[in-house]
Amino acid sequence: MQSMQKESLIKKVAITPQPELGSASNLSSSIREPLPTIQTYCQSKTFIAAHGINNLVASASGLFSLLSKLRELFSYENITQLKQDLIHEIKAFECAALNHGYAEQQILIARYAICATLDDAILHTSWGAKSNWQEDTLLYIFHGEMWGGERLFTLLEHLKSNSEEHIALLEFIYTCMSLGFEGKYRVNAQDKDSFYAILDTTYRLIKNARGDLPEKLSNIRLQTPITQKNAFQESAKKSFIPRVLLVSGGVILSMYMLFAFVTRESAQPILKHIQQIEQNLS
């Protein structure tokens, strides 16, 4: 492990043994000192969207765009540089979220979610699976845990108990799941229905808490996973694969449309940045 990678956006993160699951407050076990005054830590190399599903999601807009791009890559050789770039962007996300007034605990949970999601995406690419990424994941660097495939769902259940108070985090984690994070439910195909049920209940909680969508998004109609599933239930019964494509495809498309609507103009810098990285590797 590289000791320099144990640094967070703040001056020091004390890595402690993993606490028991069951409460979002346990993430405070990673003791954080006040943010440094060095502004370079807070400047994204890509972009931070001015608007988003909420300001917490907008603060991670660069990371979410990177996530989508990384899934499309057939190869990636400079893993070390990629990890350093992602560490920097996670730090920039923290700063942006703080500037939006989010509490430290909220940012810790969101950071846990995005680290787990990025790790999950990279480790399930052909090039990531062959790398040493598993030995020093983003989740370990920032939270001292090697895998968040189970704990993130435990945190999600805790947040659901008070959906109105935790609406921003629910939307953040919902975005992570819609963009591909499945955690422990990726292991067995039999667990897919359980995953989609979680996705659906999360969506319904968000919809109930938010009510109508903002006027600027009123033309984008989002369907819940279960609504989409029931609409074609008979044809989907014939094969598990159509059922998976039906539900996950609809959710991802809906979230992509919503996310792209508010970030499409800002996405160009990050695409150029990735293209530059790819050119350096060639």
pLDDT in tens, the chain (282 residues): 333 333 333 322 222 333 333 444 455 444 333 334 444 467 666 655 555 679 999 999 889 988 888 888 888 888 999 999 999 999 999 999 999 999 999 999 999 999 999 999 999 999 999 998 989 999 999 998 888 888 999 999 999 999 989 999 999 999 999 999 998 888 776 778 899 999 999 999 998 888 754 443 333 334 444 444 443 333 333 333 333 334 334 444 444 444 444 344 444 444 455 455 445 444
Going from the C-alpha of 254 to that of each of 87, 135, 221, the distances in angstroms are 28, 34, 8
CATH number belonging to domain 3-281: 1.25.40.590
Break the chain into its structural domains and give their ranges: 3-281
- Note if the pTM is more than 0.75: no
Q: How many CB atoms lie within 10 A of CB 250?
A: 20
Cβ atoms of 206 and 225 closer than 8 Å = no
Cβ atoms of 142 and 8 closer than 8 Å = yes
Q: Which residues pair with 32 in a beta bridge?
A: 13
Going from the C-alpha of 93 to that of each of 8, 55, 203, the distances in angstroms are 12, 11, 24
Q: At what angle do helices 79-99 and 61-72 cross, to 10 degrees?
A: 150
